[in-house]
Amino acid sequence: MAVQTLTEYWAKRDFKKTREPSGRGSSKTSTTPGGIFVIHKHAATRLHYDLRLEHGGVLWSWAVTRGPSLDPSEKRLAVHVEDHPYDYAGFEGMIPKGEYGGGAVVLWDEGTWVPDGDPAAMMKKGHIAFELKGSKLNGAWHLVRLRGKAGEKRDNWLLIKSDDAAARPGEDILVDAPQSVKSGLTVEDIEAGRDAPAGRPSANGAKGAKATSPAEPARRAQGGAGSVKMPGFIEPCLATLQASPPVGPEWVHEVKFDGYRIQAHISQGKVTLYTRSGLDWSGKFGKSIPAALAALPVQQAIVDGEIVVVTEKGGTSFSALQAALSSGGGLTFYLFDLLHLDGEEIAREALAERKEKLREILADAADGPLLYSEHFTEPGKTMLSHVCRMGLEGVVSKRADAPYRKGRGHDWIKSKCTMRQEFVIAGYLPSEKTGRGLRSLILAFHEDGALRAAGNVGTGFNARNSADLKKRLDGLKTAKASFPGPLAKQKGAIWVKPELVAEIEFRDWTSDKILRHASFQGLREDKPADEVVAEIPEKAESGGVKKAASKPAGRSKTQSGGGAMTTVKLSSPDKKLWPAVGVTKQDLLAYYEQAWARMERFIVRRPLSLVRAPDGVGGPRFFQKHASPGMHAAILRMKDPEDGEELLYIESFDGLAALVQYGCVEVHLWGSTIDSLDQPDQIVFDLDPDEGLDAKAIRAATLDVKSRLEELGLPAFLKTSGGKGFHVVVPLKPAADWNVVKSFSHDFARAMEQAEPDRYTATLSKKARTGRIFIDYLRNGRGSTTVAPWSSRAKDKATVSVPVEWEALEKKLAPDAFAIGGKSLATALKATDAWAGYDKARKALKA
């Protein structure tokens, strides 16, 4: 019982002196493995962090001496200490000096933990593998017991972060986020007796403060979509300069813009615009951009992009942007990434998936100042050649399967037509001519912790900006140069404090790192001077970074009793893709062998998108539309004739088996075949209900869609989604183009919304969906996809999207009724094909 395990905890504390909870009389018990976790930052005799995992009604506890690290290469000592009561999860405040553990305590992180197995058995074995879902810590972790030395009394373990999508090599979350997630206070605030910020509970029990119950962090962390608190400013992902774009199908390429990098935060109609360094520039860009952002169909969102001025030639110009800011001219905000959406931490998803969601949000904003930054899959060198010919700055290449990682790394690579970067202004030479303020600027950059001269720039000025710049520099005058060397002895130089940053375009570097043929473009007030370094292009590796060679799987005849056979051999066939129900990679292949006879006509020779979970659905997931190195030859590729984008498709069961080998847990398909890409042959309406709506309402809405389609003379077929709702599919003769199909589906969904606004919405945002069912028509655009009939889903229960008869709704069918290994799915595979008449029912859709 939990009471017995708290004996040591009670013996160490005098509860007449400390405000720590005693845990006496607590009735909390655990019925399932896992539960809440918390991490307390504890400024006792030595600062440390206490990791606490709920088990058996108490909190297992480890004192992590140097704190947790998101870097998998860091192994942090964690000393196993006495169990703490469950009520301790919400504790924050001062433990009196002289008492055990005396010092300030803040609730540094909280959430839920999910063990990878039986916690008690792993504790006994000395290796606890688990997943954290917190505000600061996420992903897979390990606690590993160390062998004790002779006479040693401490129970020492190591806390190690797994190398997954939540890992952040080289980053220090302890420095980046020192505050409490409960009150916003630091341990220094607690020690000084400072109160929590307005609107947050006080750690010191101030009158009127609302305490956080131990169940609260669990409720928020287990809330799924919409449960993650919107973060503050997120340090941006930055591109590394290389001489040429990376090579490989995993890369997509975007135009490099010449403007201000801006992170926009949208919350309940309020918009805040942050620069790359986190400065609030909300009032700098006029009213049209904030108004357009506030009008987007979202409740909360964080988007990343660049505010620019588009020139007459279609390019962007930083100098034109500065002029526009002075005159209030027209600005454009190119959006290229989505980091947070209505309580979901999108930044952890693959870039391809983030951009697809961003595209949908911007679908109705095409006529305003907001533009979606398109990407291309043609070879990066080809694209760089095109943009240079057009007079643009260059190309940013991004890994389509990578999450959003802060700081400068190799997920984003920039390649430029001309060299261009920021430099610190260290001084200037005054003009000898009447009417001009400057002859040249003296530039520098940081190297090895000190400033180094980069030469002078004497072009790019005009009478106005030269005078304004000189006035600002004269306010920063200092006695001597801020760097050593010959350039510090220029005759007539006026030296200034190295605080202003200039954008400079130049031809090349000399061997001494001095600029050649430089031209001033403008001041960069969004970038701090102490971050300016020389951006010397790296030599590009194949694919931009060094990668291990992929080994193709072996081949052998395989069959599991179904009608399909494959020559694809699975590696790690016992790998659990759905750990919660024990469904393995081999189980998925065996299911598809049974389903292939019914699935084949819907999936072959169609462009596909894949949801991959190589480590199982509880680990990182990747949304993939293009080929990767080592991909099986049965997964075929073709070029989209419209934009040259690479498309994936299969022609045989070998192709589907290769997708299984590749860790694909969902197969999504276009609404057209590769033989007729621009004439869709289906319409899909995805009924997505708000949380809390009962199954009866969802079934009634699905029948309503069927009835309205039949009134228009269109056939309607039903399949389960494997998730919360149903899919209604209309088979078409491939005659109308995408514009006609998307316009029809949009108008149909809007008509349902207008007819019964209390029941339906055609708006994407979660706010609009409250208490209603979203008639999702967005699956019907060119390049949009929907989950294939008979495809598995990336849900914990290994559910499947199954075609069914309409009569099944009368029998109270659930949207997630079918799962791999379940009796209902086996029955469906043996029953008469519910979609046997699908092809004969096709109708032409007219404009």
Distance from C-alpha of 3 to C-alpha of 15, rounded to nearest angstrom:
16
The residue with greater pLDDT, 169 or 729, is 729
424-433, 482-491, 819-828: which has the highest mean pLDDT? 819-828
pLDDT tens for 700-734 read 999 999 999 999 999 999 999 999 999 999 999 99
Cα-based distances in Å from 268 to 296, 342, 513: 11, 10, 49
First to last CA, the chain: 70
With residues binned 3-state (H G I as helix, E B as strand, rest as coil), the percentages for the chain, rounded to 5, are 20, 30, 50
Distance from C-alpha of 48 to C-alpha of 66, rounded to nearest angstrom:
6
Strands 237-241 and 407-416: parallel
Residue 580, pLDDT > 70, answer yes
| Structure tokens given for 513 | 């790192």
Tokens 């220090």, residue located:
172
Distance from C-alpha of 598 to C-alpha of 150, rounded to nearest angstrom:
65
| Structure tokens given for 829 | 């595979």
- Lowest average pLDDT, out of 321-325, 555-559, 582-586, 811-815, goes to 555-559
pLDDT tens for 761-799 read 988 766 777 889 999 998 898 888 999 999 999 999 999
Structural contact between residues 627 and 608, judged by C-beta atoms closer than 8 angstroms: no
Residues annotated as catalytic (active site), given as ranges: 256
Residue 119, judged by CB atoms within 10 A of its CB (0-12, 13-18, 19+), counts as buried
Q: pLDDT at position 519, please?
A: 84
Distance from C-alpha of 62 to C-alpha of 80, rounded to nearest angstrom:
4
pLDDT tens for 314-349 read 677 777 787 777 665 688 999 999 999 988 888 988
Average per-residue pLDDT in the chain?
84
Maximum Cα–Cα distance across the chain: 93
The edge-to-edge listing of strands for the beta sheet with 394-399 is: 237-241, 407-416, 394-399, 251-256
The domains located in the chain, with CATH, are 2-221 (no CATH), 237-416 (3.30.470.30), 419-541 (2.40.50.140), 562-669 (3.90.920.10), 682-830 (3.90.920.10)
Q: How many CB atoms lie within 10 A of CB 256?
A: 21
Distance from C-alpha of 682 to C-alpha of 838, rounded to nearest angstrom:
11
CA atoms within 13 A on the CB side of 613: 23
Q: pLDDT at position 366, please?
A: 62
Alpha helices in 184-298 (DSSP H): 187-192, 215-221, 288-294
Residue 16, judged by CB atoms within 10 A of its CB (0-12, 13-18, 19+), counts as exposed
Distance from C-alpha of 316 to C-alpha of 334, rounded to nearest angstrom:
11
Query: What stretches of 119-248 adopt beta strand conformation (E)?
Result: 127-134, 138-145, 155-161, 237-241
Cα-based distances in Å from 149 to 82, 123, 154, 159, 606: 20, 19, 9, 19, 62
Contacts of 23 (CB under 8 A, 6+ apart): 6, 9, 58, 84, 85, 86, 87, 88
Distance from C-alpha of 206 to C-alpha of 302, rounded to nearest angstrom:
33
- Rounded to two decimals, the pTM is 0.42
Q: pLDDT at position 206, please?
A: 38
β-bridge mates for residue 646, sequence order = 639
| Structure tokens given for 128 | 């606890």
Structural contact between residues 485 and 514, judged by C-beta atoms closer than 8 angstroms: no
